[in-house]
Structure 1
Amino acid sequence: MSTQDSEDILVRERNGNVLVARLNRPKARNALTPELMSALGQALLDAENDPDLRAVVVTGSGDRVFCPGMDLRAFSRGEQTVLGADEGRAAYQRFLDGGSTVPVVGAANGTALGGGMELLLACDVVVASAAATFGFPEVKRGLFPAGGGAALGTRIPLATALELVLTGDAVDAARARQIGLVNSVVDADQVLPAALELAGRIAANAPLGLAAAKELVRLTITDPERAAARQQELQHRVFTSEDAKEGAVAFMEKRAPVWRGC
């Protein structure tokens, strides 16, 4: 198991009301370990609990690889690969399951494979480098996508999802954009600026409305019946909020709204 401190393997940087969380294991190409997953989960949890943060950008160190997934060197040595029970690891699993309440923008500065691709799928929107490739090579290693990749067919056409997970072959950035794995493709040096610009546009919106919209869009895919009931609950809370009043008043006064998150 890696002995690196979580402050080293995940670097946090604030950019206004946006948190940048950077996977920082460059010698291992930012491969995932339980410690790194826990550190990212804790960063997301802290962002959810910080009213001054309205969005998170997840990226990686370097300019070639975002994340290749599981640290296979550690796995081959029999080291722990399953998330434990601490707060950060539970938050990371909730993120993979689509339960994180803060909007998350993936900034794929390079290739994402396996668990790295599943990490991107957990993000709400993804900006990718034109030089990157994306895929699920688990079946080539005697494994299968166990961190959300098996649900790929809810995100892209079923036949395409099956092709990717059964062959283990990767696709380039243009193809990833075409099939809906990523939202936009830019030059490698523009990935983080483009992700920050997108995160800024998201963060400018009302936090209660953002959280409700994110939850309902995801829930409608996985549990339509629950989504219908949840919409009624959220509609009352959001539409009667102070932010809803502020949005209407700001529109009438032709000024930018000042959100309070309540």
Structure 2
Amino acid sequence: MSDDILTEVKDGVIVITINRPDAKNAMNKAAAEGIAPALDRLDAEDDLRVAILTGAGGTFCSGMDLKGFLRGESPVVEGRGFGGLTQKSPEKPVIAAVEGYALAGGLELMIACDLVVANSGAKFGIPEAKRGLVAAGGGLLKLPEQIPHKVAMELALTGDFIDAARAYDLGLINRVTDGSAMDGALELAQSIAANGPLAVKVSKQVIEESRGWSLESRWDEQAKLLPQIFMSEDAREGAAAFAEKRKPNWKGK
């Protein structure tokens, strides 16, 4: 893995850090190709429950590395999208921990995550139009699903930024911290990691996939996913732990 991406495991949480602080963590090909296998590892290892994606040096990600773009480099992983994430999310949850700026492709990475914790000083935007480009890494597709249509339109057409308070009010981020966004993200990650891993995985799957289900089929589609939960060892363990007033010992099966 390139030094442009660092990984660290903390109590079932894999922290993935974009490590290009001198370039404001602008996404290049090497970084994108480092994020994708880290997310594969999240899904492959049973002991890993949640990922946190963040940036080094006080910035989340300033977008695509334009110098690399001019050299003909593309920070896209085939089948995974920009930054190895925007088109294909892992089965397990990913939290964005945002300090500083999440702009252009950086915002697209952030909204591809399942949850977002941001420092109160963070700024957000898709300023591609100011450079004669468009937010093709998911900004134009996903942002209108996450905030009101007209607000998404304004952000795309003006390229202007919004602050953390506005992003929180719009529902774009989950939590705002006065201190470290990473500390807040780790707290949120641990509250997820304490739950049944199968339940977390299927809950994410239903929320994500049900957006494409018709009203007539959605209950049937959900029902296809439920036996693996209600017939699992974890379901019995969760009930037993509640009755016995102890912490559950999840097995993920």
Common fold: TM-score over 0.5: yes
Mapping of residues 112-261 of structure 1, within 5 Å: 112-151=102-141, 152-187=143-178, 189-224=179-214, 227-261=218-252
1:32 counterpart = 2:27: yes
Q: Which amino acid aligns with 2:5?
A: L
> 1:83 maps to which residue?
76
Aligned residues: CA RMSD:
1.8
* Matched-pair identity in %: 42
Separation in 1, partners of 2:18, 2:125: 19
Q: Which stretches of structure 1, 4 residues or more, deviate above 3 A after TM superposition?
A: 89-95, 222-230
1:97 counterpart = 2:87: yes
Residue 147 of structure 2 aligns to a residue in which SS? coil
Q: Which amino acid aligns with 1:198?
A: L
Separation in 2, partners of 1:94, 1:70: 12
1:115-162 CA-partner distances (Å, limit 9, x unpaired): 100111011110101111100001111111111111211111111111
Separation in 2, partners of 1:80, 1:99: 23
1:163-193 CA-partner distances (Å, limit 9, x unpaired): 1111111111111111122111112x42111
Separation in 2, partners of 1:67, 1:202: 25
Query: Quick check: 1:216–1:227 contact (8 Å CA) kept in 2?
Result: no
Separation in 1, partners of 2:40, 2:99: 23
Aligned residues: 251
Deviation of 1:19 (Å): 0.8
TM-aligned CA distance change 1:191 to 1:94, over 3 Å: closer
Structure 1 residue runs without a partner (length 5+): 1-5
Query: Quick check: 1:96–1:122 contact (8 Å CA) kept in 2?
Result: yes
Separation in 1, partners of 2:28, 2:199: 34
> 2:60 maps to which residue?
66
1:111 counterpart = 2:104: no
TM-aligned CA distance change 1:251 to 1:214, over 3 Å: same
TM-aligned CA distance change 1:13 to 1:71, over 3 Å: same
